Structure 1
Amino acid sequence: MERRFFLKYGASATLIPSLALMDHDPEHDQLHEKLPIPYPENPDARLDILLQGNDRRLESYLNDQNWQTGNKRYGGVKNSYGIYNAHSTAGFIRTFGCSLATPESTYYRSEAMLERMVSAAQYLLKSQHADGSIDLITTNFHSTPDTAFLVNWLSPVYVILERDQWDQSKAVRALLRDFLMRSGKTLLVGGIHTPNHRWVVCAALAWLYHFDADKKYESRVDKWLREGIDMDPDGQYYEKSTAVYSPLCNRVLITIARFLGRPELYGPVRRNLEMTLYYLHPNGEVVTEASGRQDKGEVRYPGRYYYSYMYMSRLDNNPRFFAMTNLIERTRFTDVITYLNYLLEDRELLNFETSTEKIPTNYEKMFVHSGVYRIRREQLDATIIQNNPTFFTFHKGNAVLQAVRLSAAFFGRGQFVAQKVLKEKGKYHLQWDLERGYYQPVSKKHLARDGDWEKMGQDKRKISELQRFRMKVEIEEKNHGFALHINVDGTDHVPVVVELGFRKGGQLEGAKKLEDIPHAYLSKGGVSKYKIDGDEIEIGLGTAEHSWIALRGALPKLDLDCLYLTGFTPFKQTIMIS
Structure 2
Amino acid sequence: MNHHLVMEDAPAFISGLVDAADRSIDTLVDAPDGGAAALAHRPAMGRLLAMATVYTQPDSRHYLSAGLPGLMMGCVARLEYLQGPTGLFDGTNLSSPPDSAFTINDACMALEIMDAPAGLSAGGGLAEIATRLRAVVGRITDALLTGGVHTPNHRWELCAALARIHSLHQSEGVPRPELLQRIDQWLAEGIDQLPDGMYSERSPLYATAVTNPSLVAIADYANRPDLLEHVRANLAAFLPWFSSDGVTESLFSRRQDQWFRFNGEAFQLLYRRLASQDGNGDFAAAAAWLRQFPLLEPAKALARTRLDPWLHLQLPERESALGGGELPAAMTPGHAVLSSCGIHRFREARSVATIFGGCDDVASGVGSGLASNPTFLRFAHGDAVLTDVRLSRSFFDLGPFRSQGVSLSDTGVRLTEDVSANFYLPLPVDKHREDGLYALGHEGRFSAGMDFGNRPAVEHRLGTSITVIPQMAEGTVELELGFEGAHTSFAIELTFRPGGLLSGVEEETRGQPGAYQLTTGTGEYRVGEDVIEFGPGIAADADNPPAYNPGEAYRYLAGTNATDGVKVYITGRTSGSVRLAIRGRSVS
TM-score range, shorter chain: 0.7 to 0.9
Is 1:397 the counterpart of 2:391? The answer is no
Is 1:548 the counterpart of 2:548? The answer is no
Shift of 1:184: 0.9
Is 1:570 the counterpart of 2:575? The answer is yes
- Conserved 8 A contact 1:382-1:393: yes
Shift of 1:571: 4.8
Q: Aligned runs of 1:94-109 on 2, under 5 Å?
A: 94-109=49-64
Is 1:445 the counterpart of 2:430? The answer is yes
Shift of 1:246: 4.6
CA–CA distance in structure 1, aligned partners of residues 273 and 436 of structure 2: 67
Give the aligned partner of residue 460 of structure 2. Answer: 467
- Conserved 8 A contact 2:520-2:539: yes
CA–CA distance in structure 2, aligned partners of residues 338 and 273 of structure 1: 21
CA–CA distance in structure 1, aligned partners of residues 243 and 60 of structure 2: 36
CA–CA distance in structure 1, aligned partners of residues 110 and 579 of structure 2: 57
Amino acid at match of 1:502: F
Give the aligned partner of residue 282 of structure 1. Answer: 244
* 3-state SS of 1:350 partner: coil
Judging changes above 3 Å, is the alpha-carbon distance between structure 1 residues 93 and 407 closer, same or farther for their aligned structure 2 residues? Answer: same
Is 1:515 the counterpart of 2:509? The answer is yes
Between the aligned residues of both structures, percent identity stands at 28
CA–CA distance in structure 1, aligned partners of residues 8 and 212 of structure 2: 27
CA–CA distance in structure 2, aligned partners of residues 440 and 294 of structure 1: 40
- Conserved 8 A contact 2:493-2:548: no
CA–CA distance in structure 2, aligned partners of residues 253 and 333 of structure 1: 21
CA–CA distance in structure 1, aligned partners of residues 209 and 285 of structure 2: 17
CA–CA distance in structure 2, aligned partners of residues 571 and 563 of structure 1: 22
TM-score between both structures, scaled by the size of structure 1: 0.86
* 3-state SS of 2:397 partner: coil
User: Quick check: 508-517 or 546-555, which moved more?
Assistant: 546-555
CA–CA distance in structure 1, aligned partners of residues 28 and 539 of structure 2: 53
1:77 to 36, 42, 48: 36
Give the aligned partner of residue 55 of structure 1. Answer: 22
Shift of 1:426: 2.0
Shift of 1:487: 1.5
Is 1:430 the counterpart of 2:435? The answer is no
CA–CA distance in structure 2, aligned partners of residues 176 and 418 of structure 1: 50
Shift of 1:57: 1.4
Give the aligned partner of residue 167 of structure 1. Answer: 123
Judging changes above 3 Å, is the alpha-carbon distance between structure 1 residues 544 and 65 closer, same or farther for their aligned structure 2 residues? Answer: farther
Q: Aligned runs of 1:181-192 on 2, under 5 Å?
A: 181-192=138-149
Kindly provide the CA deviation profile for residues 139-181 of structure 1, in whole angstroms up to 9, marking residues without a partner as x: 1221111111012223222212211213312111212222223
1:298 to 229, 239, 260: 260
CA–CA distance in structure 1, aligned partners of residues 203 and 539 of structure 2: 36
Give the aligned partner of residue 370 of structure 1. Answer: 341
Judging changes above 3 Å, is the alpha-carbon distance between structure 1 residues 246 and 236 closer, same or farther for their aligned structure 2 residues? Answer: farther
- Conserved 8 A contact 1:53-1:334: no
CA–CA distance in structure 1, aligned partners of residues 123 and 191 of structure 2: 43
- Conserved 8 A contact 2:101-2:161: yes
Q: Aligned runs of 1:218-237 on 2, under 5 Å?
A: 218-237=180-199
Amino acid at match of 1:379: R
Please list every run of 5 or more consecutive structure 2 residues that lacks an aligned counterpart in the other structure.
1-6, 170-174, 320-328, 360-372, 441-448, 555-559, 584-588
TM-score between both structures, scaled by the size of structure 2: 0.84
- Conserved 8 A contact 2:240-2:333: no
Is 1:417 the counterpart of 2:417? The answer is no
Give the aligned partner of residue 86 of structure 2. Answer: 131
- Conserved 8 A contact 2:24-2:298: no
Judging changes above 3 Å, is the alpha-carbon distance between structure 1 residues 347 and 110 closer, same or farther for their aligned structure 2 residues? Answer: farther
CA–CA distance in structure 1, aligned partners of residues 568 and 226 of structure 2: 49
Is 1:110 the counterpart of 2:65? The answer is yes
* 3-state SS of 2:534 partner: strand
Shift of 1:126: 2.4
* 3-state SS of 1:417 partner: coil
- Conserved 8 A contact 2:20-2:298: no
Judging changes above 3 Å, is the alpha-carbon distance between structure 1 residues 161 and 482 closer, same or farther for their aligned structure 2 residues? Answer: same
Is 1:506 the counterpart of 2:511? The answer is no
The CA RMSD measured in Å over matched residues stands at 2.2
Shift of 1:62: 3.6
Shift of 1:468: 2.9
CA–CA distance in structure 2, aligned partners of residues 378 and 218 of structure 1: 50
Paired residue total: 523
CA–CA distance in structure 2, aligned partners of residues 286 and 545 of structure 1: 37
